[in-house]
Amino acid sequence: MSRRRPVSRLLACSLLVAIACGDSAPQDAKTPPPVRSAGETKVEPTPDAKTPDTPAPEDPFADDRWEDDDATGGEDEPPPPKPPATEGPWPGPCKVSYKGGPTVRFKHTDAGGTVRIDQDGDGEADTCGKFERKDGHVTKISIDLDCDKKTDLRIEPKPQAGSNLVAAKVTANADNGGNRELTLVNLGVFAGLEPGYPIAAAPGEVESVVADGRVTKAHTKSTGEGSTSIELSYDKDGRIKTVKEDLGRDGTVDRKFTYKFDAKGNPTRIDVVTTIPAPAGDKPAGAKAKPETKKQSATFDYACWK
């Protein structure tokens, strides 16, 4: 849906092998060579047994490279990209700013781009990522959680025919969940490290309702902690309008996202309403506890395309 700076090459490996070959040392002229008696058989020394080398675990990100400019996520904007020749929405925003929250900055190229997230507003990127695009779809997302020019996990989404469900291959080390396959729902709104995936679960663990080629409802088969249920609505042009999330599948809406677009189809604003349940025991006897509601908005900047 990260944590960067100039990007040189991420992982570079060099292996230097030195092989020494040559004649053995000359015999001392004063020391005659040993005399072998008649019939004596020459016995060659037995070489020391070699322990076969144990190959190191293959690094799935060893060939990943972070080629980027030297920006660190501060206020300096990347150079403007060349606008696409076709009319319609831009491939993505230049900056997404959440009021009282993170700032997300994008740099776009013909084949994809990079993204940096300043989570705490200190002007430094906390999470970084890069993405690749083909035929209007994001095909690969590499996430650098610490902005240290190293890939921590990679998502390779593949759209499914007939709906906005996505099958994704995730490559990650054990600390980040390991390699796995996921089913996602693609919102098509590039507001963070990925173009909106409000639900993610193992294949076969997501049940969905599809109408007119778009998912309108989906939920994980499991309930309780880690489970999710979502309800989606779209505008007359098929763009995402609202997303309601029930985290834990307890029947309550925990977060509601409302999306707004301009005339060309570029997203211009996201309004988020988060409902926080009242802690147990904080209400008088017989009184009904009221949940806390928090509102946050994000605005989109497309100045780099103009």
φ/ψ of 304, rounded to 5, equals -70, -15
> Does 173 reside within a domain?
yes
The structural domain count of the chain equals: 1
Whether residue 211 lies inside any domain: the answer is: yes
Entry pTM:
0.71
Residue 27: per-residue pLDDT: 36
| Top-confidence residue, 214 or 10 | 214
Specify the range with the lowest mean pLDDT, choosing from 35-39, 131-135, 225-229. 35-39
What is the predicted pLDDT for the residue at 237? 92
Question: What token pair was written down for 15?
Answer: 């292996």
Across the chain, what does the average pLDDT equal? 77
- The predicted-structure confidence for 158-171, as pLDDT tens digits, reads as follows 988 889 999 999 99
Q: Which of residues 252 and 18 earns the better pLDDT score?
A: 252
Residue 293 lies in a domain: yes
Q: Which domain holds residue 259?
A: 151-305
Query: How far from chain centre, in Å, is Cα 252?
Result: 29
pLDDT top residue among 141 and 286: 141
Residue whose entry in the numeric block shows the structure tokens 């000359």: 26
| Span of 66-70, 200-204, 227-231 with lowest mean pLDDT | 66-70
- Please indicate, yes or no, if residue 86 is contained in any of the structural domains: no
Measured CA to CA, the distance from residue 39 to residue 257 in angstroms comes to 95
Indicate whether 77 belongs to any domain.
Answer: no
CA–CA distance, 79 with 75 (Å, rounded to integer): 12
Q: What is the mean pLDDT of residues 70-80?
A: 47
Mean of the pLDDT values across residues 257-262?
Answer: 94
194 class by beta-carbon count within 10 Å (0-12 exposed, 13-18 middle, 19+ buried):
buried
Domain-located, residue 272: yes
Judge whether residue 122 has pLDDT over 80.
Answer: yes
In this structure, how many other beta carbons lie within 10 angstroms of the beta carbon of residue 270? 21
Q: Are 77 and 304 in contact (CB under 8 A)?
A: yes
Of 72, 65, 78, nearest to 6 by C-alpha is 72
70 falls within a domain:
no
